[in-house]
Amino acid sequence: MKHQIRLNVNGDDYELLVDPWRTLNEVLREDLNLTGTKLGCGVGDCGACTVLVDGKSVSSCITLAVAVDGKKIETVEGLAASGEKLHPIQESFIEKGAIQCGFCTAGMEMSALYLLRKNPSPTEEEIREGLSGHLCRCTGYNQIVEAIADAADRMKTDRGKGVKP
């Protein structure tokens, strides 16, 4: 039997009828067409599917949609509206060469957002620890760490300009 759930995704409210076994990742990608959130391993190991649920980073592939009924979900699509200025984290990822195939990027960026909200001036070690749940097959990680350090600097400036952190 399907369950009715309510989600607030990137500021928009949705009422959905979902089977109890469907994951948040499936509902985001298939029902809401928010395909920026990727599906990699599907078992909680790679971080590609990371989104924020009530501000905390979560693997959407192992989270049932019914378990997040009533919650606030943030996905990569919420970082910058289509056609608008990119979020400082996205700008830093591009400028520092932290994206190659891009499959890990949305999840990395959401974990970066989670980290920088908690800790606006992380050390390199804290950044690496913040990324510990993420796998990247392309970049070797150094550019991603550099990008997050750069984003931290940028967000301090951008906050002053009114960009939402």
Contacts with ligand FES by CB under 6 A lie at 39-42, 44-49, 59, 61, 99-104, 136-139
Which residue lies nearer to ligand FES by CB, 29 or 160?
A: 29
**Taking the complex as a whole, how short is the minimal distance between the CB of residue 160 and ligand FES, in angstroms?**
31
The torsion angle over the Cα atoms of residues 98, 101, 105 and 107, rounded to 10 degrees, is: -150
**Taking the complex as a whole, how short is the minimal distance between the CB of residue 13 and ligand FES, in angstroms?**
25
**Taking the complex as a whole, how short is the minimal distance between the CB of residue 63 and ligand FES, in angstroms?**
9
Residues 55 and 114: beta-carbon distance below 8 Å:
yes
What are φ and ψ of residue 51, in 5° steps? -135, 170
Which residue lies nearer to ligand FES by CB, 141 or 163?
A: 141
Residue 137, burial from CB neighbour count under 10 angstroms (0-12, 13-18, 19+) = exposed
Which residue lies nearer to ligand FES by CB, 62 or 163?
A: 62
**Taking the complex as a whole, how short is the minimal distance between the CB of residue 147 and ligand FES, in angstroms?**
11
Residues 126 and 119: beta-carbon distance below 8 Å:
yes
